[in-house]
Amino acid sequence: MEIVHVYSRLRSEFGRACLLSDRVTELSLDLLPDPSLGAQFILRTPRDQASQARCDMSEHQVNTERFETESRGVNHTEGGWPKDVDPNEMEQTIRFRKKVEKDEGFMNSIPQLGSMMAHCIQQNNSLDIYQEYFTDEDEDESAEPPSAKTINVFRDPNKVKRTVTSLSWHPDGGRKLAGAYSCLHFQTSHSNMCEDSYIWDIENPNLPELTLKPVSPLICIEYNPKEPHTLVGGTYSGQIAYWDTRRGSQPVELSSVEHSHRDPVYKIMWLQSKTGLDAFSASTDGQVLWWDVRKLSEPTERLVLDPSREGNLEQALGAICLEYEPTMPTKFMVGTEQGVVLSCNRKAKTPAEKIVCSYEGHHGPVHALHRNPFFPKYFLTAGDWAACIWSEDIRDSAIMWTRYQMSYLTDACWSPVRPSVFFTSKMDGVLDVWDVLFKQNDPSLSLKVCDEPLYCLRVQDSGQMVACGSEGGSATLLEFCSGLSSLQKNDKSLLAAMFEREAKREKILEARQREQRLKERSRSEQSNTGQGAGDCIDAHDVQQLIARAEEDFYSVVEAEKRRREEPLQDKDAIKEVNGGKVMQ
Amino acid sequence: MAEVEETLKRIQSQKGVQGVVIANSEGIPIRSTLDNSSTVQYTGLIHQLLLKARSTVRDIDPQNDLTFLRVRSKKNEIMIAPDKDYFLIVIQNPSD
Q: Using alpha carbons only, what angle is made at residue B40 by residues B38 and B43, rounded to the nearest 5 degrees?
A: 105
Question: Nearest Cβ partner of A109 from B10, B16, B86?
Answer: B86
Q: Three-state SS string across A115-174, please?
A: HHHHHHHHHHHHCCCCCCCCCCCCCCHHHCCCCEEEEEEECCCCCCCCEEEEEEECCCCC
pLDDT score for A529: 59
Q: Three-state SS string across chain B, please?
A: CHHHHHHHHHHHCCCCEEEEEEEECCCCEEEECCCHHHHHHHHHHHHHHHHHHHHHHHHHCCCCCCCCEEEECCCCEEEEEECCCEEEEEEECCCC
pLDDT digits (tens, 9 = 90+) for B25-73: 888 888 899 998 899 889 989 999 999 999 999 999 999 999 999 998 8
Choosing among A110, A112, A125, which should be mutated to test the B contact, i.e. which has the most B CBs within 10 A? A110
Q: Are B56 and A132 within 8 A, CB to CB?
A: no
Question: Nearest Cβ partner of B70 from A101, A107, A120?
Answer: A120
Contacts of A107 in chain B (CB under 8 A): 1, 3-4
Chain A to chain B Cβ contacts (< 8 Å): 97
C-alpha span between A387 and A380 (Å, rounded)? 7
| Residue predicted with more confidence, A140 or A402 | A402
> Which residues, at least 6 apart from A111, have a Cβ–Cβ distance to it below 8 Å?
B3, B4, B7
Mean pLDDT for chain A overall: 83
Choosing among A117, A119, A123, A130, which should be mutated to test the B contact, i.e. which has the most B CBs within 10 A? A117
The number of C-alpha atoms within 13 Å of B72 and in the hemisphere containing its C-beta is: 8
Collapsing DSSP states into helix, strand and coil, what is residue A276? coil
How far CA A403 is from CA of A285, A336, A418, A440, in Å, comes to 31, 21, 22, 9
Rounded to 10 deg, the angle between the A90-101 and A104-126 helix axes is: 90
| A533 — pLDDT class (breaks 50, 70, 90) | very low
Local structure of residue A213 (DSSP, 8 states)? -
C-beta neighbour count of A537 within 10 angstroms = 9
C-alpha span between A508 and B53 (Å, rounded)? 73
pLDDT digits (tens, 9 = 90+) for A537-577: 566 777 888 888 999 999 999 999 888 887 666 665 555 55
Q: Are A81 and A95 within 8 A, CB to CB?
A: no
pLDDT at A580 over 50: no
Collapsing DSSP states into helix, strand and coil, what is residue A424? strand
Mean pLDDT over A16-32 rounds to 86
Indicate the residue type of A362. Answer: H
pLDDT score for A65: 83
Of A238, A266, A184, A194, nearest to A471 by C-alpha is A184
Mean pLDDT over A429-451 rounds to 88
Name the residue of chain B whose CA is nearest to A118's CA: B11
Contacts of A105 in chain B (CB under 8 A): 84-86
CA of B60 vs chain A CAs: smallest distance (Å): 24
C-alpha span between B64 and B66 (Å, rounded)? 7
Contacts of A79 in chain B (CB under 8 A): 27, 44
Q: Are A495 and A419 within 8 A, CB to CB?
A: yes
| A249 — pLDDT class (breaks 50, 70, 90) | confident
- Radius of gyration of chain B measured on its C-alpha atoms: 14
Question: Nearest Cβ partner of A105 from B10, B72, B85?
Answer: B85
pLDDT score for A424: 92
> Which residues, at least 6 apart from A71, have a Cβ–Cβ distance to it below 8 Å?
none
Of A355, A378, A357, A360, nearest to A306 by C-alpha is A355
pLDDT at A269 over 80: yes
| A137 — pLDDT class (breaks 50, 70, 90) | low
Name the residue of chain B whose CA is nearest to A103's CA: B1
C-alpha span between A252 and A271 (Å, rounded)? 19
Q: Beta strand A421-426 with B77-82: parallel, antiparallel or unpaired?
A: unpaired
- Residue B78 forms beta bridges with which residues? B71, B91
pLDDT score for B49: 93
Mean pLDDT over A287-316 rounds to 81
The number of C-alpha atoms within 13 Å of A499 and in the hemisphere containing its C-beta is: 23
C-alpha span between A102 and A110 (Å, rounded)? 12
Indicate the residue type of B7. Answer: T
Mean pLDDT over A126-131 rounds to 76
C-alpha span between B55 and A255 (Å, rounded)? 67
The number of C-alpha atoms within 13 Å of B8 and in the hemisphere containing its C-beta is: 19
C-alpha span between A570 and A576 (Å, rounded)? 10
pLDDT score for B50: 93
| A183 — pLDDT class (breaks 50, 70, 90) | confident
C-alpha span between A472 and A254 (Å, rounded)? 28
pLDDT digits (tens, 9 = 90+) for A194-206: 888 889 998 888 8
Q: Of all residues in chain A, what percent carry a pLDDT higher than 70?
A: 91
C-alpha span between A421 and A167 (Å, rounded)? 20
Whether A111 has its CB under 8 Å from any CB of chain B: the answer is yes
Query: The whole model's pTM is what?
Result: 0.61
C-alpha span between A510 and A14 (Å, rounded)? 107
**Does ipTM exceed 0.85?**
no
Question: Nearest Cβ partner of B26 from A80, A105, A114?
Answer: A80
The number of helix segments (H) and strand segments (E) in chain A equals 5, 28
Mean pLDDT over A321-349 rounds to 84
Local structure of residue A317 (DSSP, 8 states)? P
CA dihedral A307, A310, A316, A317 (to 10 degrees): 20
pLDDT score for A532: 46
Q: Three-state SS string across A346-405, please?
A: CCCCCHHHCEEEEEECCCCCEEEEEECCCCCCEEEEEECCEEEEEECCCCCCCCEECCCC
Q: Note whether B41 contacts A76, CB cutoff 8 Å.
A: yes
Collapsing DSSP states into helix, strand and coil, what is residue A229? coil
Query: What's CA A269's distance to the chain center, in Å?
Result: 21
Q: Note whether B1 contacts A102, CB cutoff 8 Å.
A: yes
pLDDT score for A342: 87
E strand map for A30-129: none
Contacts 24+ apart (CB under 8 A), A393-397: A393/A503, A393/A507, A394/A503, A394/A506, A394/A507, A394/A510, A395/A357, A395/A358, A395/A359, A396/A506, A396/A510, A396/A513, A397/A361, A397/A506
C-alpha span between B22 and A11 (Å, rounded)? 110
Q: Note whether A116 contacts B87, CB cutoff 8 Å.
A: no
pLDDT score for A569: 66
Mean pLDDT over A143-165 rounds to 85
pLDDT at A141 over 70: no
C-alpha span between A238 and A16 (Å, rounded)? 112
pLDDT score for B51: 92
Indicate the residue type of A177. Answer: L
| A138 — pLDDT class (breaks 50, 70, 90) | low
Q: Are A491 and A446 within 8 A, CB to CB?
A: no
pLDDT score for A182: 86
In what helix (H) or strand (E) does residue A343 lie, and over which residues does it extend? strand A340-345
Whether B85 has its CB under 8 Å from any CB of chain A: the answer is yes
